[in-house]
Amino acid sequence: MALKNVGLIQEYEKILLGKNKDFSSVYIKHNAKESEVSELLKYAFCDILGFTPEDMRDYLSPELIKRMKLKKAIDKIDYPPEFKNEKYSNLDYLASVVYPDKVKYTKKDIILSTYVKVLSGETRFPKNFFTAYEHDVYFPICLFYAIDKNLRFKAIGDLYKFFSNKERGMKFLQKVKLYQPYRKVYHDSPLNILHFGGLEYSGQQSLFEYNNARFNNLFDIYKEKYRMKQEAENAADDKRTGC
């Protein structure tokens, strides 16, 4: 490995050997560039520990960062806004910084990394996660992840049918921890969110199935209202006749 910042690496070696207590302000505190920190991380994990890019992605932990005395270095990495307050819960992102050509970390990966941790109870959605500028795809991405993991449908029409029932759609959103974001951000039915958000984003949007689901939903509503009206009228008749 051809080192660009030999002084930073040498200082780090002294820290590992116990000769220096911590990084000096010369290299890390004020002047370190992300590219130089990336080089340091590659040296520590790949040259010293023998990690592959995939090992970095899969096995980094706060405990290992502490043992390798790299906390100050990692604090210099410019994390995505979604991870700003959760750096040590998203250490896999570092692999994409050190090996951008070998470990891809897309916007979708960032969104789902947060959502999976929310599902497990490890964290909560960051503030403005669904409402910040250009975050209109965040909810659809989470919704389709939840659908893929929890529901099985043979045809897209079955998915529309499932969400055409508002109560059923709400229960599903509660189950997959998307109800609160839905309630705060959207003022629409789950069916409309599915059609104009999730399915539009995924390219599976079907106007025919959407209209069919809306019609069936309205029909079910009117049918239920008619049933309740009939029951009320029958009860009134029974009362008048003394039955």
Per-residue pLDDT band at 53 (split at 50, 70, 90): very high
Section 165-190 average pLDDT: 85
pLDDT in tens, 120-158: 998 888 888 888 766 778 888 898 899 889 988 877 778
Query: What integer pLDDT is reported at residue 47 of this predicted model?
Result: 92
Residue 103 token pair = 């470990």
Average pLDDT score over the chain: 79
Residues 6+ apart with CB under 8 A from 231: none
| DSSP for 55-120, written as a single string | HHHHH--HHHHHHTT-HHHHTTS---GGGTT-GGG-TTHHHHHH-TTTS---HHHHHHHHHHHHHT
Are 9 and 40 within 8 A, CB to CB? yes
pLDDT in tens, 198-241: 555 455 555 556 565 565 654 454 444 545 555 555 655 556 66
Residue 99 token pair = 């090996």
Query: Cα 29–33–34 angle (5° rounding)?
Result: 110
On whether the pTM is more than 0.75, the answer is no
How far apart CA 194 and CA 34 sit, in angstroms, is 40
Residue type, 55: D
